[in-house]
Amino acid sequence: MSQDKFIQSEQSVAKCLAYKKKEGYLEIQDLIAEETPVAMVFNGISHAVMMATPQDLNDFALGFSIAENIINSLEDMYALEIHTTDNGIELAISISTETFNRLKENRRSLIGRTGCGLCGTESLNQFKKIQELLTLNTSRAIFSSNNIIKALSSFPENQMLQKQTGSTHASALCSNNGDILLTREDVGRHNALDKIIGASYKMEYVDFGELFLITSSRASYEMVQKAAKLNICLLVAISAPTALAVRLADSLGITLIGFARNKNYNIYTHKERIR
């Protein structure tokens, strides 16, 4: 497609000429989601390139750094600069010397597709070490089925990019009473959850053990892993879970719900939290 097909391009959405089949072909202006390479650069060293939607990049940088075990807290990140280049976007992240030394020891080279939690892990031993960093969730929170359905019902209303383009994933952080506190969107499901993690870490005095997450995608191993990093005890997925995700959620004390649609859902682990 030639560049003149694009009428206008904003940060996250582009207008594109298209031809709609309807009793012939009708020329239309379609809204499509932007997708761009986003490089994570720590203390001047490029660590990962992810294909992502170019919005909420501050949250993305922080959430990715936490989810990938690069930093442990907000205090480990000293500064963030966003540089737009001809080839994409560079997130220049300054981190503490201790965390940078740890990163160099475990350095991975990631070329992301649309977000990838394990891409670039160099060995099965590294995979095992990632699992060992996750801790058992002992939250005694109880969640009402009605409040879960309440959050699911309002979830689409909070997905502005999806409404415009039909091509993005979303994650939402929800209160125990079913109110949506935060929503983040991205072309990559992992990226959307990383953005939620980053935004959540900026919130003060929040007990994440009393909150729950919704994701518009399937529940993969990586999604459960990211929920665990946020100390979330309930993950609700619109689509199916994988077997490994169910095993991980069960071992970590996380309640995992899948196929959450039209006021129905399946509970795969730790049903005792749902009333």
Is it the case that residue 91 has pLDDT exceeding 60?
Answer: yes
59 and 103 share a domain? yes
178 and 91 share a domain? no
Give me the mean pLDDT over the 12-25 stretch: 92
Q: Which segment, 22-31, 67-76, 110-119, 252-261, is predicted with the most confidence on average?
A: 252-261
User: Which one is predicted more confidently, 237 or 5?
Assistant: 237
Residue 157 in any domain: the answer is yes
Is it the case that residue 2 has pLDDT exceeding 70?
Answer: no
Is it the case that residue 114 has pLDDT exceeding 60?
Answer: no
Residue 117 in any domain: the answer is yes
Residue 9 in any domain: the answer is no
45 and 113 share a domain? yes
User: Over pLDDT 90: what percentage of the chain?
Assistant: 78
Structural domain span for residue 199: 145-273
Q: What is the CATH number of the domain that holds 214?
A: 3.40.140.10
Q: What is the pLDDT of residue 6?
A: 44
151 and 108 share a domain? no
Residue 17 in any domain: the answer is no
Report the catalytic residues: 116
Residue 258 has φ and ψ, to the nearest 5°, of -130, 170
Whether the predicted model's global pTM rises above the 0.85 cut: yes
Residue type, 186: D
Give me the mean pLDDT over the 87-115 stretch: 77
Which among 182, 178, 179 has a CA at the least distance from the CA of 170? 182
Give me the mean pLDDT over the 174-184 stretch: 98
Q: Which residues contact 10 (CB under 8 A, 6 or more apart)?
A: 34
User: Which one is predicted more confidently, 127 or 72?
Assistant: 72
150 and 244 share a domain? yes
171 and 266 share a domain? yes
115 and 151 share a domain? no
Q: What is the CATH number of the domain that holds 87?
A: 3.10.20.10
Is it the case that residue 8 has pLDDT exceeding 60?
Answer: no
Residue 25 has φ and ψ, to the nearest 5°, of -120, 125
Q: How many domains are there within the chain?
A: 2
Q: What is the pLDDT of residue 102?
A: 86
Q: Which residues contact 246 (CB under 8 A, 6 or more apart)?
A: 256, 268, 269
Quickly state the pLDDT bin for 168 (edges 50, 70, 90): very high
186 and 91 share a domain? no
Q: Are 63 and 194 in contact (CB under 8 A)?
A: yes
Residue type, 95: I
97 and 153 share a domain? no
d(CA 97, CA 144): 44
Q: What is the pLDDT of residue 45?
A: 92
Quickly state the pLDDT bin for 33 (edges 50, 70, 90): very high
159 and 219 share a domain? yes
Residue 88 in any domain: the answer is yes
Residue 160 in any domain: the answer is yes
117 and 157 share a domain? no
Residue 194 in any domain: the answer is yes
Give me the mean pLDDT over the 137-164 stretch: 97
Q: What is the pLDDT of residue 16?
A: 93
d(CA 218, CA 209): 22
Residue 1 in any domain: the answer is no
Quickly state the pLDDT bin for 134 (edges 50, 70, 90): confident
User: Which one is predicted more confidently, 1 or 169?
Assistant: 169
Quickly state the pLDDT bin for 53 (edges 50, 70, 90): very high
149 and 266 share a domain? yes
d(CA 266, CA 260): 7
